[in-house]
Structure 1
Amino acid sequence: MDKGAPRRAFDEIFKQPLDVYALNRMPPRMSEYAKTIHEIGERVELVTQSEQRGLGDAVLCAKEHLEASPFLLMLGDHLYTSTHKDGNSCVKQLLSAYQGTSVLALRSTAEAEISHFGCATGRWEGRTSEGPGSLCITNIVEKPTIDFARCNLVTPSIKQGEFLTVFGLYILSEPEKIFSILQDQLELRK
């Protein structure tokens, strides 16, 4: 496998100057969209691991590219689709929920599948007639067994036989703390 292919594809899409001739031939709406995508790409940094050593190591690889401010972490092996009634993207929903503390996206998953994901439970806060509000996480376990989940990870108002699992989308509000914890975990594995 060509490990440089993702970098070349990213650079080709986002880092190359826009082709003025091609932009001028596009309908105005399409041209504006292409410019917007290019501007977003200029603010995105693609960071890859030299070898696969887990999510924590991947986040540590990006440390030098992040300032001491909150950041959005999106896992590259996920496809983010939304069924939100207003058409809001998954990222927009997460940004709306962000209020200065770390936030992660969760989804409802059948119990037969939970051994493949991080699984969380907690208590609902800010419930309204329009929805359950936010979940204040009280327990999160990586790839639990069904029996463990049934005993420890049931979330009120989630259908029986389903659990909330991590969706690969995070806003991390305290980078220094996160990096310190990840570095400590890395040292423990050595």
Structure 2
Amino acid sequence: MIRKAVIPAAGLGTRFLPATKAQPKEMLPIIDTPTIQYVVQEAVDSGIEDILIISGKGKRAIEDHFDRNFELEARLEEKEDEALYNEIRRLGDMANIHFVRQKEIKGLGDAIYYARFHTGNEPFAVLLGDTVMSSVIPVTQQLIDIYEQYKASVLAVEEVPHDKVSRYGIVGGKPLADHIMEVSDLVEKPAPDQAPSNLAIAGRYILTPEIYKTLEQTPRGKGNEVQLTDAMRILLKRECIYSHTIEGKRYDIGNKLDFLKTTVEFALRRREFAAPFLEFLKETVSQHQD
């Protein structure tokens, strides 16, 4: 049973400067909801209520967001705004959220290593703090179901164009069933002619505690950082790893163009302004085509 989740959120967010100079990129809102709130909600919807967020310098806003704000709650009560009051109260109660700081930005693998005392000898989920999933069954729940079947680490993957594999960690292996593969190779950001497939790691993992031992043995790799993909290659020599092609859509909030696309898609799902917003988009596109 997977009881704990780890959400790495310590990156500097340099691709969103100057917006991220004084606020975490994970707090950038998709309309009115911070990105990381969607990630926490996915963990909760997957049955996980013990969550460790790996933060860093300048990330205090994340802690404040999931804490109680009694003054704000009192003001909303005075205004008799029950819906918004309940939403704000829910943030403080949605999960048992803990925080630890990554003292030096040394990569995703190093960030995960900070969770070793919290997760102990249990398998745990990892959800990247700048990646949002849209699916009927939460993607983390999909991975938990695979873990319960194989009792081994599971990676969420998605198909990407071959000419873009150099942006991702790529896996290769032997298909076992629909959407499931036994992994035999992992490569961090390979050249297209060196990629074992076009299946990219999609920001969600179930990891066994053995990952901590392999992280201790993992030298710095791409970008002079400790790469989680490199640690999993070592882990692969000791135990099986499986991948699951996600049923849903991944939204990478790590770059500006994808952030804009995500905002538009999520806005079109909002009943209160989807119709007028769609009309605005049509008018805007028409003007640019003239």
> What TM-score comes out, normalization by structure 1 length?
0.71
In structure 2, what is the equivalent of residue 37 of structure 1? 91
SS in 1 for 2:184: strand
1:168 corresponding residue in structure 2 = 203
Q: Which residue of 1 aligns with 2:192?
A: 146
Structure ranking higher on relative contact order (CA contacts 8 Å, 6+ apart): 1
Give the root-mean-square deviation of aligned CA atoms.
2.7
Which residue, out of 155, 170, 173, partners 1:104? 155
- Once the two structures are superposed, residues 65-89 of structure 1 have per-residue CA deviations (whole angstroms, 9 ceiling, x without a partner) of 223211111222x32222x4xx223
Residue in 2 aligned with 1:88? 137
4+ long deviations beyond 6 Å = none
Counterpart pick for 1:66 among 119, 136, 146 = 119
Whether contact under 8 Å (2:68, 2:89) holds in the other structure is no
Structure 2 length as normaliser, TM-score?
Answer: 0.49
Q: CA deviation at 1:9?
A: 1.0
Aligned to 1:27, which of 74, 79, 82? 82
Shift of 1:185: 1.9
Unaligned runs of 5+ in 2: 1-20, 23-55, 225-290
Q: 1:22 to 1:125 in 2, by over 3 A?
A: farther
**Equivalent-residue separation in structure 1 for 2:75 and 2:219 (angstroms):** 47
Aligned-residue sequence identity (percent) comes to 26
Aligned to 1:160: none
Distance 1:179 1:66 in 2: 10
Structure 1, unmatched stretches of 5+, are 127-131, 155-162
CA distance change for structure 1 residues 81 and 17 in 2, over 3 Å: closer, same or farther? Answer: same
Q: 2:218 — aligned with what?
A: 185
Q: How many residues align?
A: 163
